Structure 1
Amino acid sequence: MTAFQNAIYADLDNMRFQYESESSIYTEKLVDGRLLFAGFQDNGTSIYEHMDLKDKPSFDLTIDGESLYYGWEYSDFVSTRDELGSTIGTLTLKHTRKSIQLKIITSCSGFGFFKRSMEITNLSNETTFGLTNVTPFKGCIWNITDNIADNLRDDTVAPYSVGRFKDLYWANEGNFAWQAIPVNTGIFFNSTFGMSGHSSPFFILRNNINGGYFVCQMGWSANWKTAFFADYFNDSRLPNKINLNFEVTPVTPSPARLIAPGETISAPDMHFGLSHVDLDTAVQNLHGYLRQFVLRQVGDGLQPVIYNQAGYMVPGYKQPDMSEEGLKHEVDIAAELGAELFMVDAGWYGNNGQAGTDWGNTTGDWHASDVLPNDLFPVYEHARSKGLKCGLWVEIETAGAKSKLAEEHPDWFLEQYGRTFPRVLDLSKPEVKQFVESEIIRLVEKYQLDMFRLDYNSSSHDGGFNLKDGRNENTHWRHMEAIYNIFERVGKRFPNLQLENCASGGGRTDIGIVSRFTTTWVSDWFKMPRTVRILNGMSMALPPEYINRSYSPGMEGNLDSQMHVIMMGHPMLCGITPSLAAANPAIMACAKKYISIYKDFIRSFHRTSKVYHHTPVIPGADGSGWAALEYVSEDRKKAVATVFRLVNADVDCYTLKFKGLDKGANYHVRIEPEGSEFVASGYALAREGLTIELDTALTSQMILLTLLP
C-alpha cells in the first residue's frame, strides 16, 4: 500500500475546514448557517481566507419541501485515520429550525482524490420527515478573473468543457465525448431508466483557459442528474469573472425516503479529484484511487478467465436447450481453451419443461430446472475435476410471470401508478429483501460457488410507490439501500467469492454498485467496432481489469481483433465451438494463444497498470477511424498496446507513439498476430513510434513490450 500526504486542518475559530490529498486542497467554510464550497486548488498551495468563495453552498437538502441548505450551526468536528491510510474529517451540524442533524464526512485518500459522504439523522422523537431531494455535492470548481475577454479570444473558445458518456441507451455505453459548456447557459445530463443507465454519473470537467481537470463520480445506481453552468459576469464597471458551477444529485419522485424518528440515512457517496496534469494522468489518478480505496478485490485481485456456457448450446437463451450433457461438453471446451472459471448462465432454473418458456419467465424460482434432473452438481463436479472454478447467473431482483414466486407472492412486486410493475421485486419491503439475501446465501453455499453473477434486466423508470404514514414513498432509495447492504454482507460472509455485476449489460456501471463487486459487465454489446469504443470509454471511468469484455458468436471483424478487445479487459469467452469434436483447429489455437498472453503477460501487471488513451474520443455511430490503448506496468518493465482500425478510416496507417515507457531503456517488442519480434529503445518508441499498417477495417495489432536489462 502506497503512503500519501493527506491532511486536514480545522480552524474552529473561523469555522474553516481544509482537506488535502497530495497537491489537491479542498476548502469549506461555515458562514451564516451555510456550509460553503470555499475553494479548490490543484497545486498544493492553500488560498488565503479572504480569497474564499462567499456564496457557493457545498450541498443542498430539502426536507418535506423546505430547503435546508442554510440554517445550520456547528456541533462537532473529529479527524481520524482509517486502516487504508485515508485521513477522515467528520463535521457534525444541527439545523436551527428542524430536528435534523448532518454528518459531513470527507476522506482524503491520496492521488488527489476525496470521498464525500453525508449522513442525515432525524433527531425528532415523534415526527417522520420526508426527504424531498438532496444534492450531496455542488459548488464552483473554477473562478477565473484574469484577462477574460482576451483569453476567450472574442468568444471563440468555450472556457470550460465537460467529458461524459453521451449515450444513455443499451449497447452504446462508454461513448465518451467532450461538450463545450456555453457561457451563461446551463447544461445537464441524466438517466431515466430506474438504473444508473447505460451511461454513468461520471464526468470530467476541463478548464480550457488555465488548464486542469476535475474528475467526479457519484455512487448511485438509480436515476441521477449532473448539471453545469458557466457564469460569465462581464459588467464593464466591475472586474469580470467566469465561474464554473456544478452539481450532482440522485433523482427520484418525492418523498424519496421517509426518515423515521431517530433514524439515520446516507446520501450517495461522491468521489472527486482535481489535478493540473494531462488527461491520461488525471485518469490514472482516478484508477489508482479506486483500486486502493474503493473497489473490492478477492485474493491477489488477478481476474480469472471466464468461460460462459451460453453460446452454441443455448441459442436465444431458450431454456429447454439446457441439459447436463450439454453443460459438460461446454466444460470440456472451457478446460481445453485454458479458461479458469465456468459460468452457468440464464436458463438453469424453474419449471423449464414447458416448450417455449424463455429465460425471463421463470426467474425467481432459483431451483434447478426439470431438464436438469440431477441438479447442477454433476456439472460443477465435472468442472472442478478439470481445474475450473464455478459461477452461476441469477437475476435475483426479479420474478418472471410463469414463476411460482410470482404466483405465491403477487404483493412482492413494485406498485407503480396503481398497477403491478412486471418482473421487478420491491426490495424496499423487508420480507422481499430478506428473501433475496437468503436465496443468494443459499445458492452460494449449496453449490460452493466461486462467482455469483447478478443480472438486472428491467427498467423501472420512476420506480414504485408504497403508502407509509399516509404518504407515497418512492422505492428507489430503499431498493438501492437494500442491494448495497445485501452485497456488503454477502461479500463479508464469503470473502473469497467473486461477485460479478451485470444489468442488462451496462445498466449499472456507477461506482456505487461496482464498488461492491469484483468485475462488471459494462455492456453486453460485443460486436465490432463498437465494442472497442465501449472498452475505450469505460476504461476512463473504471480500471480495465474490472471491465468485462466477451467473445461471442456472430461478431464482426477477424478473430484476432475480437481477442485483442477482450484481453485488454476482463476476458470472457463463449460459443467458440459447438463441441470439441467439431472444433475448428485454427480458432482454438488463436483463442488459446491469447488466453495464454493474458494469463502469462497482461494479467501480471493489469490491476496496477497505468492506462493511456491515445484516442479518448472515438466518433461515429459505431466507432470510426482508429483506436489505440496502452497499458504500462508501474515499474515500466512491461507494457501492452493495441491499435484497432475501425470503420471509415481515411488512411491505412496509424503511428503509435508510446507514452508510458522508460525512454532511457531498451524493450523487446513482439507484435501479434504477425509474430514479429525485435528490440527498440524506449526513446524511439516514444518519439518516432511504431507505424501500424492495416489496409482493411475491423483489424488490429497487439504490441507486447518487455524491458531488457
Structure 2
Amino acid sequence: MSTNSTSIIADLARMRFQYKSELAVYTEKLSDGRLLFCGFQDNGTIIYEHADIADKPSFDLTIDGESLDYGWEFRDFDSVTDERGNTTGTLTLQHAAKPIGLKVVTRCSGFGFFRRSVEIVNLSSDTTCGLTNVTPLKGSLWSITDNVADNLRDDTVSPYSVGRFKDLYWANEGKFAWQDVPVNTGVFFNSTFGMSGHSSPFFILRNNINGGYFVCQMGWSSNWKTAFFADYFNDSRLPNRINLNFEVLPVTPAPARLIAPGETISAPDMHFGMNHVDLDSAIQSLHAYLRQSVLRQAGDGAQPVIYNQSGYMVPGYKLPEMSEAGLQAEVDIAAELGAELFMIDAGWYGNNGTAGADWGNTTGDWYAADILPNDLHPVYAYARAKGLKCGLWVEIETAGSKSKLAQAHPDWFLTKYGQTFPRVLDLSKPEVKDFVESEIVRLVDKYQLDMFRLDYNSSSHEGGFNLKDGRNENTHWRHMEAIYEIFERVGRKYPNLQLENCASGGGRTDIGIVSRFTTTWVSDWFKMPRTVRILNGMSMALPPEFINRSYTPGMEGNLDTHMHAIMMAHPMLCGVVPSLAAASPAMMACVKKYIGIYKNFIRTFHRTAKVYHHTPVIPGADGTGWAALEYVSEDRTKAVATVFRLINAEENRYVLKFKGLDKQAIYTVRIEPEGSAFEAGGYALTREGLEIELDTALTSQMIMLTKNK
C-alpha cells in the first residue's frame, strides 16, 4: 500500500529528471557531459526548463588525479516504486574517455526527503584505478533575483545561515548553533579524528530572505567536510542574483580506494530534504523519513531500559572489584529499579590478572578474565531469572598492547608513516575483517546476547596506508566498508538483536553507522547542564528514541532533573546506588517513578513522536538560560514536555507554550516532581501556555498531557 507521495518525471529526450517527494521537487539534467543540479523547490511547483540553473554540477569525481566532472554519456534510466510508495530512479552513465561507469540512484522517500547513492564502476578488464576524491552531492539553492540589493539592506543582512554542531571535541557534542554565510564568502566545517564525530556531517541551511530550510546528512563514519558559498552577482553584465552553493564529501588521503577491474564501490549515501514551514517541521520531516526508510529496528522496536554495571564498578578503581558476586549484586539493583536489560561493560576480558584495572590494554582477547573463573554464564543466568535481557560491551576494532591477539598478529594493526598505530586493528585487511565478524557472531551465540555494544575509543586521524600494487591506499574507506558490511550481516542474522553504537561517547553519530544500529551514544558526558544541551542538539539530527542518555555517579543538581533528561531520550542507568543495602529509599523511589513514566507513558509514543525544539540554540560553555523540549504523539492524544533551568538564567520564570497539541481538545495535565494534576484546554496551553517557576539552577519540571475522551 502506498503511503508516500513520490514520483519521478524522466524526460529522456532532454535528459532532464525531476524527483518529487511530497512538496519537494529536485531537478537534474545531463547536459554537455555533466549531470547538473538544476534546482530544488519546496512548494510542489514543477520547474520549467528555462528556469533551470545551468552551470552547477551535482557531484564531483576524480579518478587517478583526473577530474571526471564532465564527459558523461547516457546509458540507461529506470524507476521502480515499492509498497510504501517510495520511488527510486537509477541513472546509468559511462565516461567517454575513462573506463568508468556510474549508477546515480535517487530515492524519493516521502516527507520531502531524498536519498542519493552514487555507485562507481571500474569498467576496465585489466587495470586498477584509484579514487582520488568524490563529492556525492553538491548544488545551488535559492536563486534569488528580485530586489536582492534592497533585501540585503546594504550588506547588513546575510542572505543565508547554516545550522550545525559547532564543536568537534569530546564531551561537546550537540552544540547546535547558526552561523551566517555572508555574500561572496566561503564557510566550511570538517572532522579530523578519523571518525565522523564528535560532531556530525549534518547541517540545516536557512534562507534568511525568502524563508525555507534545507536539511542534509551524509552517511559516513570517518572524516568529512561540508562547505558553503553565498554567490552574489551584481554588475553591469549580469542581473542581481544570489544563490547558496553547498557541497558535502568524505575526506581521505588519495587514493582513498583502489577499484579493481570490474569492481563497484559506493560513495557515502546522502540524505536531504527541503521544507518551507518552520524549523520544527523540517526536523519532524527528517525524523519521519529516518524512522520509516533508514533506521533499524529490532523486534517490536521498543527500546529497553538499560542498566550498565560500571557505575560503582569502575575499571581501575574496583569499587567493588568486578567479580561474579559483584555483577550479580548489580543485577539485583537493576531488577529492583525496573530496568529491562543488564549490560556488562568494559573490563570483563583478558586473562592476565589486570583485566578490570587495565581494560584498554587487554581488548582483543574476548574471553572472560581470571577474575571471572566461571565465565559470564552464571551472571547472565541470574539476570535472566530476574526477567532481564543481557548485553555485552566489546571494542571489537581494537587490540590492546597486553592482549594475546596483539602478540600473535602484529601485522593486523593500522600502519602509518612506517609505524604501527597502537590499538587500532586494520579492517581493510580481509583476514582482520573476517576475524572481527567471527568474534561478534561467536560472542552473540555463546552468551545468547540481546544487545551487542560496539565501542571505539581511538582516533586514527587521517588513517593508515597499505601498499597495494605499488600504491599506498588509505585505510579509511575499506575500514568503513568493512564495519558497515559486518553489521548489516549481523543485523540480518539476528533480527531481534539490539545493536548499540558507541565511539568514545559521540565519536560516530552519523547516519551511516547509526542506520545499522538500534541505539546510539551521542556523548558520554552526562553531567548537568551540558547533558541537556547534548540531548537538545542531537535530537535534531536523530530521533530521540535512538539517543542514549544516562544517569551516572557524581552528578550535580537535582535528581528529578537528571531523570527528566534521560527519560526524554533512550534511558540508561549506571551507578544509581553502590548497593541495595546502602540505597536511599527516597532515591530509589524517585528513579523507579520515572522508569515507570518512561515505560508506561513516554515509550508508548516515543518512536513516532513529533519533536518540538522550543530552545534550538542553547548558548554558553555548558548551557545557559532555559531549555525546553516537547514530544507529541502522531494523533495528538499524548504529549510530554520538560522545561530545564540551566545556569545563569536571568529570570525565575519560563512560559511554555505548547506547539503540537489539538487546540480543540481538553487535556489532563500532570506535572512532576510536584505531582499536581488538572485539566486544561489545548488552545489555552498553546496560546497562553504554562508558567514554570524555578528559582534555582539545575532544576526542571516534566509536564505530561493526555487528551480526554
Question: What CA distance in whole angstroms lies between the structure 2 residues aligned with 1:142 and 1:352?
Answer: 62
| Conservation of the 8 A alpha-carbon contact between 2:320 and 2:326 | no
Structure 2 partner of 1:342 = 342
Question: What CA distance in whole angstroms lies between the structure 2 residues aligned with 1:205 and 1:419?
Answer: 42
Question: What do the CA deviations read for 1:163-182 (whole angstroms, capped 9, x no partner)?
Answer: 00000000000000000001
Cα offset, 1:454, TM superposition: 0.1
What does residue range 169-188 of structure 1 map to in structure 2 within 5 Å?
A: 169-188=169-188
| Conservation of the 8 A alpha-carbon contact between 1:452 and 1:498 | yes
| Conservation of the 8 A alpha-carbon contact between 1:320 and 1:355 | no
Greater CA drift, 641-650 or 297-306? 297-306
Distance 1:690 1:241, change over 3 A: same
Structure 1 partner of 2:524 = 524
Residue 11 of structure 1 aligns with an amino acid whose one-letter code is: D
Question: What CA distance in whole angstroms lies between the structure 2 residues aligned with 1:334 and 1:352?
Answer: 29
Does residue 633 in structure 1 map to residue 633 in structure 2? yes
Residue 497 of structure 1 aligns with an amino acid whose one-letter code is: L
Structure 2 partner of 1:605 = 605
Distance 1:69 1:461, change over 3 A: same
What does residue range 680-699 of structure 1 map to in structure 2 within 5 Å?
A: 680-699=680-699
Question: What do the CA deviations read for 1:233-258 (whole angstroms, capped 9, x no partner)?
Answer: 11145310001000000000000000
Question: What CA distance in whole angstroms lies between the structure 2 residues aligned with 1:14 and 1:216?
Answer: 28
Residue 246 of structure 1 aligns with an amino acid whose one-letter code is: F
Question: What CA distance in whole angstroms lies between the structure 2 residues aligned with 1:356 and 1:441?
Answer: 24
What does residue range 27-176 of structure 1 map to in structure 2 within 5 Å?
A: 27-176=27-176
Question: What CA distance in whole angstroms lies between the structure 1 residues aligned with 2:597 and 2:580?
Answer: 22
Does residue 190 in structure 1 map to residue 187 in structure 2? no
SS in 2 for 1:500: strand
What does residue range 12-23 of structure 1 map to in structure 2 within 5 Å?
A: 12-23=12-23
| Conservation of the 8 A alpha-carbon contact between 1:318 and 1:347 | no
Structure 2 partner of 1:313 = 313
Question: What CA distance in whole angstroms lies between the structure 1 residues aligned with 2:668 and 2:155?
Answer: 49
| Conservation of the 8 A alpha-carbon contact between 1:609 and 1:632 | yes
What does residue range 634-649 of structure 1 map to in structure 2 within 5 Å?
A: 634-649=634-649
Question: What CA distance in whole angstroms lies between the structure 2 residues aligned with 1:686 and 1:55?
Answer: 46
Structure 1 partner of 2:351 = 351
Structure 1 partner of 2:216 = 216
Residue 643 of structure 1 aligns with an amino acid whose one-letter code is: V
SS in 2 for 1:336: helix
Question: What CA distance in whole angstroms lies between the structure 2 residues aligned with 1:267 and 1:667?
Answer: 49
Does residue 497 in structure 1 map to residue 467 in structure 2? no
| Conservation of the 8 A alpha-carbon contact between 1:84 and 1:293 | no
Distance 1:562 1:541, change over 3 A: same
Question: What CA distance in whole angstroms lies between the structure 2 residues aligned with 1:317 and 1:24?
Answer: 55
SS in 1 for 2:531: helix
Structure 2 partner of 1:325 = 325
Structure 2 partner of 1:228 = 228
Structure 2 partner of 1:434 = 434
Does residue 293 in structure 1 map to residue 293 in structure 2? yes
| Conservation of the 8 A alpha-carbon contact between 2:131 and 2:257 | yes
TM-score, normalization by structure 2: 0.99
Cα offset, 1:592, TM superposition: 0.1
Question: What do the CA deviations read for 1:143-177 (whole angstroms, capped 9, x no partner)?
Answer: 11110011111211100000000000000000000
Question: What do the CA deviations read for 1:391-440 (whole angstroms, capped 9, x no partner)?
Answer: 00000000001000000000000001110000000000000000000000
Cα offset, 1:317, TM superposition: 6.4
Cα offset, 1:347, TM superposition: 0.3
| Conservation of the 8 A alpha-carbon contact between 1:317 and 1:347 | no
| Conservation of the 8 A alpha-carbon contact between 2:539 and 2:547 | yes
Structure 2 partner of 1:552 = 552
Cα offset, 1:582, TM superposition: 1.1
Question: What CA distance in whole angstroms lies between the structure 2 residues aligned with 1:352 and 1:289?
Answer: 48
SS in 2 for 1:607: helix
Question: What CA distance in whole angstroms lies between the structure 1 residues aligned with 2:633 and 2:461?
Answer: 42
Question: What CA distance in whole angstroms lies between the structure 2 residues aligned with 1:559 and 1:247?
Answer: 44
What does residue range 444-459 of structure 1 map to in structure 2 within 5 Å?
A: 444-459=444-459
| Conservation of the 8 A alpha-carbon contact between 1:117 and 1:269 | yes
Question: What CA distance in whole angstroms lies between the structure 1 residues aligned with 2:456 and 2:477?
Answer: 17
Cα offset, 1:300, TM superposition: 2.1
Question: What CA distance in whole angstroms lies between the structure 2 residues aligned with 1:541 and 1:186?
Answer: 24
Question: What CA distance in whole angstroms lies between the structure 2 residues aligned with 1:465 and 1:318?
Answer: 39
Cα offset, 1:352, TM superposition: 4.5
TM-score, normalization by structure 1: 0.99
| Conservation of the 8 A alpha-carbon contact between 1:112 and 1:273 | yes
Distance 1:393 1:8, change over 3 A: same
Distance 1:319 1:645, change over 3 A: closer
Cα offset, 1:354, TM superposition: 3.3
Residue 506 of structure 2 aligns with an amino acid whose one-letter code is: G
Question: What CA distance in whole angstroms lies between the structure 2 residues aligned with 1:2 and 1:101?
Answer: 33
Question: What CA distance in whole angstroms lies between the structure 2 residues aligned with 1:143 and 1:261?
Answer: 42
Question: What CA distance in whole angstroms lies between the structure 1 residues aligned with 2:432 and 2:355?
Answer: 30
Residue 533 of structure 1 aligns with an amino acid whose one-letter code is: R
Question: What CA distance in whole angstroms lies between the structure 1 residues aligned with 2:58 and 2:316?
Answer: 49
Does residue 387 in structure 1 map to residue 387 in structure 2? yes
Distance 1:696 1:44, change over 3 A: same
Distance 1:430 1:317, change over 3 A: farther
Question: What do the CA deviations read for 1:509-562 (whole angstroms, capped 9, x no partner)?
Answer: 000000000000000000000000000000000000000000000011110000
Cα offset, 1:5, TM superposition: 0.9
What does residue range 415-426 of structure 1 map to in structure 2 within 5 Å?
A: 415-426=415-426
SS in 1 for 2:55: coil
Which sections of structure 1, spanning at least 5 residues, go unmatched?
A: none
| Conservation of the 8 A alpha-carbon contact between 1:310 and 1:317 | no
Residue 18 of structure 1 aligns with an amino acid whose one-letter code is: Q
Residue 40 of structure 1 aligns with an amino acid whose one-letter code is: F
| Conservation of the 8 A alpha-carbon contact between 2:120 and 2:264 | yes
What does residue range 482-631 of structure 1 map to in structure 2 within 5 Å?
A: 482-631=482-631
Question: What do the CA deviations read for 1:330-380 (whole angstroms, capped 9, x no partner)?
Answer: 000000000000000000001241388411010000000010000000000
CA RMSD in angstroms, aligned pairs only: 1.1
Cα offset, 1:299, TM superposition: 2.0
Residue 60 of structure 1 aligns with an amino acid whose one-letter code is: D
Distance 1:385 1:663, change over 3 A: same
Question: What CA distance in whole angstroms lies between the structure 2 residues aligned with 1:194 and 1:319?
Answer: 34
| Conservation of the 8 A alpha-carbon contact between 1:319 and 1:348 | no
Question: What do the CA deviations read for 1:225-279 (whole angstroms, capped 9, x no partner)?
Answer: 0000000111145310001000000000000000000000000000000111100
Cα offset, 1:84, TM superposition: 4.1
| Conservation of the 8 A alpha-carbon contact between 1:527 and 1:556 | yes
Residue 154 of structure 2 aligns with an amino acid whose one-letter code is: D
Which sections of structure 2, spanning at least 5 residues, go unmatched?
A: none
Residue 353 of structure 1 aligns with an amino acid whose one-letter code is: G
| Conservation of the 8 A alpha-carbon contact between 1:75 and 1:92 | yes
Aligned length: 709
Cα offset, 1:313, TM superposition: 2.1
Question: What CA distance in whole angstroms lies between the structure 2 residues aligned with 1:425 and 1:102?
Answer: 32
What does residue range 644-655 of structure 1 map to in structure 2 within 5 Å?
A: 644-655=644-655
Residue 624 of structure 2 aligns with an amino acid whose one-letter code is: S
Residue 39 of structure 1 aligns with an amino acid whose one-letter code is: G
Residue 626 of structure 2 aligns with an amino acid whose one-letter code is: W
Cα offset, 1:318, TM superposition: 5.7
| Conservation of the 8 A alpha-carbon contact between 2:116 and 2:269 | yes
SS in 2 for 1:329: helix
Distance 1:199 1:629, change over 3 A: same
Cα offset, 1:503, TM superposition: 0.2
Structure 1 partner of 2:666 = 666
Structure 1 partner of 2:9 = 9
Cα offset, 1:465, TM superposition: 0.1
Greater CA drift, 347-356 or 400-409? 347-356
Question: What do the CA deviations read for 1:536-594 (whole angstroms, capped 9, x no partner)?
Answer: 00000000000000000001111000000000000000111111111110110000000
Question: What do the CA deviations read for 1:3-55 (whole angstroms, capped 9, x no partner)?
Answer: 11100010000000010001000000000000000111100011111111110
